[in-house]
Amino acid sequence: MADALKDVLVNSRGGLYTNEDTLTLANTLPGSAIRMLNMEVSQFGGYRRINGYADYDSNYGSVTGSGPVMGLWILDGTPYAVRRNLKDTTGSLGSNPFAVTSGSPTITVTHSSHGLSTGDRVTFAGSSAVGGITPNSVEMVITVVNANSYTVVFTSNASSSTTGGGSSVTFTANNGTQTLGSNPFSISNTSSTITVAHTSHGLVVGNFVTFSGSAAVGNITPNGVEMKVTTVPDANSYTVEFTSAATSTVSGGGGSSVTANYSKFYSIWKYNTGGWTTISSNRSSVGVTKVRHSMSAYSDTEDVIITDGLNFPATFNGTTVVTHAAGSVTNSSGAKFSTDFKNHKFYGGFPSTNNGKNIILYSQPSDPDAYGTNSNTLDMGFDVVGMAPFRDSLFVFGERQIKKVTGSGTADFAVSDVTANVGCIATDSIIEIGGDILFLASDGIRPIQGTANIGDVELETISKPIQQLLQELPSTHNLDNMSAVVINNKSQFRYFFPSETTAAADTEGVIGGLRFANRRVGWEFGQLLGIRAFVSTSGLINKVETVLHGDLNGEIYQQESGNTFDGSDVTAVYASPFLYFDSTEKRKIYQHVSLFTRPEGSSSLNLGIAYNWDDPNTPDPTTYALTTAGSLSRYTTTSSTYDTTSFTFDGSTSPVLETNLQGSGKSISLVITSTGTQAPYSIAGFSITYQDAGYR
């Protein structure tokens, strides 16, 4: 009887397949997966459960503000983040509010009951010159003197000692609570629209408001709920939408203690070991959901160019933010994204009110904020979704078309067609990895990569195994919210699809990694679950690649860190195809299975067995629990502590987990799962011992 036993060895490779029949997979890719969750291509072979994520700094885990993190990048080894302000104040100052001293950049500002704090930031407008300086449009840090005055430091010294500024000075500050008048709310029965009376409120549609101190009005109490301003009838009133409808009509209610926080702008924050500090605070946030960035090195330092779809782009050098000026013929206001090409900065994603969605704008050579006397624009003939340079061309994406720009400057920039049948459906899906460009098209992930033919590029999809999964994305997720990150040291990318209404634990994503050097056929894919990344980035910090993402409540997390998702369990699944071993009709008695693993610590795996293509009439055995003692500590590692209980003398770098099996069937699928806070592990493959039982 023993001679009738057979062994089959399966190497785990191929990745997730969602649109291939199980018969084909069993024949051609037995090591692939019909379900693959939170697993990646292992650098040791097989599949590996991904690492967790944790606060980038456990003492300063989040950035102050409201709403999701909107931008994130690493410049010169330092992380920077963008988030909408929690509360902003705008208004007018009294007549001649500034006092200056000759030879000093310090300005003393008279501002009655300002309510600001030292470290807040303020920008002035409408000032006339005072002492030879004009302190308009420069964001400055406040040092409070008393309740009615503070000082700021301008960029140059005054040439005389005097007071002044005129009678038309206005201010914008990133702090301050508004006190409303008595009974400011009106609402109608069965309506959720609240009309708010506030003299000289300074709001526009798209700003956000949070109230405190209100009594019930129409049986609703609009405290502690951030609401978007929906209409502005006049300078003294506006409307917002509450989360529920009133049950009675009230004209003038809420009491005499109502205060409000107005969120109008966003801030750029810089990380240091003492926490996150504000670099810039007064860029309008109306309608802004993403602050994108691109790197430029036109001088001896690397700069970041930021774009947000509303404001003028700005150049950030790690210390100061300089907003770009309008060009004499064209301007870059409202650009959503930017990139470098042939020593020019290109901008795209413009609104129809400036340049237009079909236009890309390019700067003068070596200056991202200069456009010369020419129009410096190119008409793509379609709404531009994104741009990416590849070799000697700039590829410009629409949703259904791609064109490219060639040439080296204004004299010879030219536009030509690439394809009229393929495009990009998500701006933030465009990434560079391994020298190629990847993007999400309507039928899957496609590359821009070179071929053997000079000047030719490859566009054929690389994601056929999960095409069905990707084609469902536009109907199940808002692709404007997605983010992407590249992990270069793993030849891996990750797409995340977050939502403000979806818990982090339920947030989905896609992971892709290169198994082989051949970038046409070497990709393997899987699904992610539990990483809610509204923005993500990777870069070098202390010469180590670091992967960061920003979440809903301002948290900045470091991926590839720890064993948990910010303290929560990590669930991983690897389900093999149904293997039938040469015959779909012959029943087999399954005797034994061996899993070839590489644990990175103590691991507990659950092995589920499914027979007969999940036939509900075929009983499956109870799940088998398999554990490992931990990874082997070698004497060659300098970090090992040999006198502690954590040192495993008898561990193994590649232990074989074995169990006897019960049951029989015409086909078998192994379902390997883990849920918990255990360390990652790799599964290199498995072997199954079985015995043919004949036809029946």
d(CA 122, CA 104): 19
CATH number of the structural domain spanning residue 141: 2.40.30.20
Query: How does pLDDT run across 422-475, given as a tens digit for each residue?
Result: 999 999 999 999 889 999 999 999 999 876 444 567 788 999 999 999 999 999
CB 627, CB 607: distance < 8 Å:
no
Other beta carbons less than 10 A from residue 655's beta carbon: 21
The mean pLDDT of 329-337, rounded to a whole number, is 89
Residue with tokens 């049986």: 219
| Final residue before a domain boundary, out of 263, 283, 317 | 263
- 3-state SS record for 270-331: EEECCEEEEEEEEEECCCCCCCEEEEECCCCCCEEEEECCCCCCEEECCCCEEECCCCCCCC
Q: Do residues 157 and 238 both lie within one domain?
A: no
Give the C-alpha separation, 255 to 209, whole Å: 18
Q: Distance between CA atoms of 496 and 506, rounded to whole angstroms?
A: 12
So what's the pLDDT on residue 299? 73
Specify the pLDDT at position 631: 60
- Domain total in the chain: 3
- 74 located within any domain: no
Give the pairing type, strands 393-397 and 457-458. Answer: unpaired
Residue 665 included in any domain: yes
> Tens digit of pLDDT for each residue in 58-83?
999 899 999 999 999 999 999 999 99
Residue 209, both tokens: 């408001």
154 lies in which domain range? 89-173
Question: pLDDT at position 147, please?
Answer: 94
Is residue 103 located within the same domain as residue 165?
yes
Q: Among residues 132, 158, 173, which one ends one of the domains?
A: 173
Inside any domain, residue 386? no
Which residues are CB-contacts of 565 (< 8 A; sequence separation ≥ 6)? 52, 53, 504, 505, 530, 531
Query: pLDDT tens, 113-132?
Result: 998 999 999 999 999 999 99
Task: For residues 528 and 13, give the distance between their C-alpha atoms in angstroms, rounded to a whole number.
Answer: 18
**What local confidence, expressed as pLDDT, does residue 578 receive?**
97
Among 206-220, 289-303, 392-406, 485-499, whose mean pLDDT is lowest? 289-303
pLDDT of residue 318: 86
Highest-confidence range of 297-311, 507-521, 630-644, 651-665, by mean pLDDT? 297-311
Largest CA distance in the chain: 106
**Average pLDDT, integer, range 410-426:** 94
Which pLDDT score, from 0 to 100, does residue 246 have? 96
What pLDDT score does 520 carry?
64
Tokens representing 630 are 């931990």
Question: How many CB atoms sit inside 10 A of residue 673's CB?
Answer: 16
- Residue 21: give its domain's CATH number: 2.60.120
**How far are the Cα atoms of 294, 415, 437, 439, 466 from residue 431, in angstroms, in the given order?**
12, 22, 6, 7, 19
Of 299, 355, 305, the C-alpha closest to 326 is 355
Residue 152 pLDDT more than 80? yes
Q: What is the mean pLDDT of the chain?
A: 92
Please tell me whether residues 590 and 685 are part of one structural domain. yes
Q: How is residue 407 annotated by DSSP? A: S
What single string gives the DSSP state of each residue in 179-192? Answer: EP-SS-EEE-TT--
Classify residue 56: in a domain, yes or no.
no
Amino acid at site 79? P
Instruction: Write out the E strands in 158-274.
Output: 162-164, 170-173, 178-179, 185-187, 193-197, 208-212, 227-234, 237-241, 250-253, 259-263, 265-272
d(CA 332, CA 314): 10
Number of neighbours of residue 204 by Cβ within 10 angstroms: 12
Q: What is the dihedral of CA 206, 212, 214, 216, to 10 degrees?
A: 80
Residue whose entry in the numeric block shows the structure tokens 């400055």? 140
Q: Residue 655: is its pLDDT beyond 60?
A: yes
Asked whether the beta carbons of 578 and 610 are under 8 A apart, the reply is yes
Cα gap 571→505, rounded to integer Å? 10
Q: What is the pLDDT of residue 639?
A: 45
Structural domain includes residue 593: yes
Residue 328: what pLDDT? Answer: 64
* Domain presence at residue 366: no
Judgement on whether residues 576 and 689 belong to the same structural domain of the protein: yes
Check whether residue 168 and residue 197 sit in a common domain: no
Q: Tell me which residue of 237, 290, 225 sits closest to 263, measured CA to CA.
A: 225
pLDDT surpasses 60 at 253: yes
CA–CA separation, 245 vs 231, rounded Å?
Answer: 18
15-53 pLDDT tens trace: 999 987 888 999 999 999 999 999 999 988 999 999 999
pLDDT in tens, 269-285: 999 989 999 999 989 99
What's the confidence (pLDDT) of residue 518? 65
Query: Which pLDDT score, from 0 to 100, does residue 454 have?
Result: 44
**Rounded to whole angstroms, how far apart are CA atoms 47 and 243?**
45
How many residues make up the chain in this entry?
A: 696
Q: Is residue 315 part of a domain?
A: no
How many angstroms separate the CA atoms of 441 and 423, rounded?
6
* β-pairing verdict for 544-550 and 556-559: antiparallel
- Give pLDDT, residue 653: 55
Both tokens of 291, joined, read: 């602050």
Give CA 234 to chain center in angstroms. 37
Q: Are residues 166 and 186 in the same domain?
A: no
Task: For residue 287, give every residue at least 6 positions away whose Cβ sits within 8 Å of its Cβ, in sequence order, or none.
Answer: 206, 309, 310
Residues 668 and 582 in one domain: yes
In degrees rounded to 5, what are phi and psi of residue 227?
Answer: -125, 145
Which of 173, 196, 224 lies at the terminal end of a domain, its last residue?
A: 173
From residue 60, give the alpha-carbon distance in Å to each of 148, 149, 540: 32, 31, 20
Is the pTM here over 0.75, yes or no?
Answer: yes
Does residue 640 carry a pLDDT above 90? no
Does 682 lie in the same domain as 602? yes
Q: Residue 586, exposed/middle/buried by CB under 10 A (0-12, 13-18, 19+)?
A: middle
Verify that 604 and 684 share a domain, yes or no. yes
Least confident of 147-161, 227-241, 615-629: 615-629
pLDDT at 635: 43
Q: What sign does the CA torsion over 499, 504, 507, 510 have?
A: positive
Indicate whether 162 and 185 sit together in one domain: no
* CA gap 553, 550 in Å, rounded: 8
Q: Are residues 210 and 233 in the same domain?
A: yes
Query: Are 508 and 521 in contact, with CB atoms under 8 Å apart?
Result: no
Is residue 316 domain-resident? no
Grade residue 325 by pLDDT with cuts at 50, 70 and 90: confident
Q: What percent of the chain has pLDDT over 90?
A: 81
The answer on 686 and 613 residing in a single domain is yes
Q: How far apart are CA 657 and CA 47, in angstroms?
A: 16
